[in-house]
Amino acid sequence: MSSQIPTKHLANVLENHAQDMTGKIVVITGTTSGTGYVCAKEVAQKGATVVLLNRKSERAEKALNQLKADVPGGKFEQITCDLQSFESVRNAVAAIKGNYEVVDVLVNNAGVMALRDQATPDGYDVQMQTNAISHFLLTKELFPLLSKSDEGRIVNHSSMARLGPPLASEYFEKKGGQLGGDGTEEENFSFRGPRWGRYHQTKLANAAFTYGLKNKLEAANISNVIPLLAHPGLAKTELATTSAAVGGMDANAEFMQMAQSAEDGATGIIRAAMDPGAKSGDFFGPSGDGWNGFPERLTPEDLLFDESNIKINWEGCEKAVGKFEV
């Protein structure tokens, strides 16, 4: 599962910013490749039982078998979860609740990028439902199990695409296929246009969800569950390959020469999931220009905890999947 790009930071994170995870239950979305696969592998190496949430596919089975080979004796359970279906998410939650009384870490990792302007069967934009609304639903439904942990962690995965205009409520509505179209090839290959605008909305939503949840937990005096945020910088993963396959970007863009390995791209969520010093609201990712480097503790930009962005995200997600009680 390693790329040909040298991995520079993973060993440091595992040695200096990760705790023993024996006895902990870690749930991760999107583990068939890339950052999710690496995270699943490393938390298992530290002793966790890892619940893998993926769409049912040969690729998911192959990844599960590879994880078992990479971590002999590792504890893995695969549960079908299609983030483009609210019913599938709820069925996955029911399966988790049937097998576990506590969840210690939830890593909302899965995502899609710069896809065509299309609706899910539930009617929402495919990017927004996959990246944000379904993760809100998953977190909401698993919160009772997270609240039973001595130190529950909710890790949301954003990206550099979080930076840009504020959230707009229309992206959280049943307007899939009516949110700007597919854009021109020139726009797509230069990371502009409506596809990338929709992607930006989802990645800002992930961040606003984190800080909105932080506010609600603090108001309720809940301190044993902490929300955290991470971003991978620019990492060489299947995310870019999938986007390129549907015309969302140029897979051979010179820009991708700055990419770090999937292993280093995963270090932000790995640190959020396992760093013994992590505190509520911590944000881990490459510092400096943000594209590559060690996953430092970052200062979140103002727009990430802007009251309007938090309100639009929270109300939009609750309208789609129901009230989130903490």
- Token match 């990645």: residue? 203
pLDDT digits (tens, 9 = 90+) for 41-88: 999 999 999 999 999 999 999 999 999 999 999 999 999 999 999 999
How many alpha carbons lie under 13 Å from residue 196 in its C-beta half-sphere?
Answer: 22
Superfamily, domain 10-321: NAD(P)-binding Rossmann-like Domain (3.40.50.720)
Chain centroid to CA 102: 20
Strand intervals (E) in the chain: 25-29, 49-54, 75-80, 105-108, 152-157, 225-230, 283-286, 295-297
pLDDT in tens, 149-186: 999 999 999 999 999 999 999 999 999 999 999 999 99
Give tens-digit pLDDT for 28-39.
999 999 999 999
Active site residues: 199, 203
